[in-house]
Amino acid sequence: MNANWEVTIGLEIHVQLKTKTKIFSGASTSFGAEPNTQACAIDLAMPGVLPAVNAEVYPKAVAFALGVGAKIGMTSVFDRKNYFYPDLPKGYQITQMDHPIVQGGHVDIMLDSGETKTIHITRAHLEEDAGKSLHEDFHGMTGIDLNRAGTPLLEIVSEPEMCSAAEAVAYAKHIHQLVTYLGVSDGNMSEGSLRCDANVSIKRPGVSELGTRTETKNVNSFRFLERAILYEIGRQISVLESGGRVIQETRLYDADKDETRPMRSKETATDYRYFPEPDLLPVIIDEAFIQAIRESMPELPNEKKTRFQHQYGLSNDDAITLTTSAELGDYFEQVAKKSGNPRLAANWVRVELLAKLNGEGIELDKAPVSALQLGFIVTRINDNTISGKIAKRVFEALWSGEAASTDEFIAAQGLQQVSDTSELEPIVDSIIGKNQKQVEQYRSGKTKLLGFFVGQVMKETGGKANPRQVNQLVKEKLDE
């Protein structure tokens, strides 16, 4: 990074809560419905309607608070934030200003260097999402879809403690993982379940006062977040180095042009005239409620990672990979338990399974091979029925649907590993016989050629020979 400037970044992350209905109405929150088919009278702000609070937002907000070690606001109050915009039907948003439900907290993020850094959370509060504006295809008009209006959001505000785009992304990813683990959100960023606003400012090293910050809103991918912040930093440096001043403003990231530009409307520097929501009463959260949530909290990513290291002897890196999601962790554990060989299971999940998923661009829940099935394949490697190489063929066959069962496929294709010395010996002898030159070279010191012989035997047996057996036999015979 630029040594002449220090960067300060704070993130506001809007997380859609995974509830069936909106925060203030009984309309559905499912994604992708036809426009305005999930916008009821309350969401449309019809005259005479009133909000009714969804109970489910509280367990989720409290779970988040517990997950970041935050204080919980025992009396939860809503406020009105007043401004005009077509995606905000009431002309005000019901949010929490003075009494957010989550106060304080922190997360420890992993930097590229391997070190961890603590990022503090200022607060997190409940509020309602706005609708969507569609600007194309309407002959000079904008089309408003209010399906999303009223979806519950938890807005998580960090302290301005991140110093680079990389740190900001690491933090955002950490929050994403946490809320997904907790079941607080489905974490589906392409559907807008998690959106980031990045507050960026720069200053000279040694100066205590922060520079003027800009806010880049509604970034919905980690890649865009990184690009947007990098661009903003670069832009601000340019401005200041050429003697200008950074203007405090709200900006948007344009992915096509890979730049940020100022927003020309909406909430730029307006007076929101907050006041307590008179249509809603205070919600009282008691210790018993919090305790119940505490007891039903799922294992958190860090906890699972540490447990995998201890319980299964995995390396830190492997444990991290296998705990990127709770689902993946569960999948691995099933494979490990079924096969009784955690190390092997870890390799298979981490390398083979993930390669397949990434290659086909599908999520774990769409994997055609279940954890039990993969666990069984590993079992068959473990008990020497098949070699690792053959196992990959089996895995491929199950994945594509060519095979329905591991044992059936092994039998049908005759893939059983050959481990019988009486079968292997003649083949080894034959290979040694045919390759006298290499034998000479091996015996005169080129011990690496062992692999050559083993490879030839494997080729001869169509990969079915037990590699360890072959290795041993070849070595014995060559060392005679």
Least separation in angstroms between CB 85 and other proteins = 8
Beta-bridge mates of residue 126 = 154
Q: Which is nearer to other proteins, 17 or 371 (CB)?
A: 17
Q: Which is nearer to other proteins, 54 or 302 (CB)?
A: 54
Closest listed residue to residue 324, CA positions, set 174, 222, 170, 169? 174
The single-letter code of the amino acid at 242 is S
Interface positions, 30-69, toward other proteins (CB under 8 A): 34-41, 44-56, 58
Least separation in angstroms between CB 35 and other proteins = 4
Binds other proteins (CB under 8 A): choice among 8, 12, 74, 82: 82
Judged by CB under 8 A, which stretch of 81-89, 98-106, 320-328, 451-459 contacts other proteins?
Answer: 81-89
Query: For other proteins, what does the binding mask look like between residues 242 and 281, x meaning CB under 8 A?
Result: ----------x----------xxxx---xx-xxxx-xxxx
Beta-bridge mates of residue 107 = 119
Q: What number of chain residues touch other proteins (CB under 8 A)?
A: 66
Query: For other proteins, what does the binding mask look like between residues 112 and 141, x meaning CB under 8 A?
Result: ---------------------xxx--x-xx
DSSP 365: G
Q: Which CA distances in Å does 78 have to 56, 85, 400?
A: 16, 20, 52
Least separation in angstroms between CB 129 and other proteins = 16
Q: Which is nearer to other proteins, 130 or 391 (CB)?
A: 130
Least separation in angstroms between CB 28 and other proteins = 5
Distance between CA atoms of 81 and 277, rounded to whole angstroms?
Answer: 9
Two tokens, residue 248: 């405090």
Distance between CA atoms of 245 and 4, rounded to whole angstroms?
Answer: 16
- Alpha helices for 296-405 (secondary structure H): 301-312, 316-322, 326-339, 342-347, 354-360, 371-382, 388-400
Q: Which is nearer to other proteins, 251 or 305 (CB)?
A: 251
Q: Which is nearer to other proteins, 196 or 378 (CB)?
A: 196
Judged by CB under 8 A, which stretch of 88-96, 305-313, 432-440, 459-467 contacts other proteins?
Answer: 88-96
Q: Which is nearer to other proteins, 281 or 351 (CB)?
A: 281
Binds other proteins (CB under 8 A): choice among 2, 69, 71, 86: 86
Size of the chain, expressed as the number of residues it contains: 480
Least separation in angstroms between CB 218 and other proteins = 10
**Using the rule CB under 8 A, is 105 a contact of other proteins?**
no
Two tokens, residue 191: 């559907």
Residues near 421 by Cβ (< 8 Å), separated by ≥ 6?
Answer: 469, 473
Two tokens, residue 392: 């990959």
Distance between CA atoms of 187 and 180, rounded to whole angstroms?
Answer: 6
Least separation in angstroms between CB 20 and other proteins = 5
**Inter-axis angle of helices 287-295 and 57-67, nearest 10:** 70
Q: What are phi and psi of 366, to 5 degrees?
A: -105, 0
Site for other proteins, rule CB under 8 A? 19-21, 25-28, 34-41, 44-56, 58, 80, 82, 84, 86, 89-92, 133-135, 138, 140-146, 252, 263-266, 270-271, 273-276, 278-284
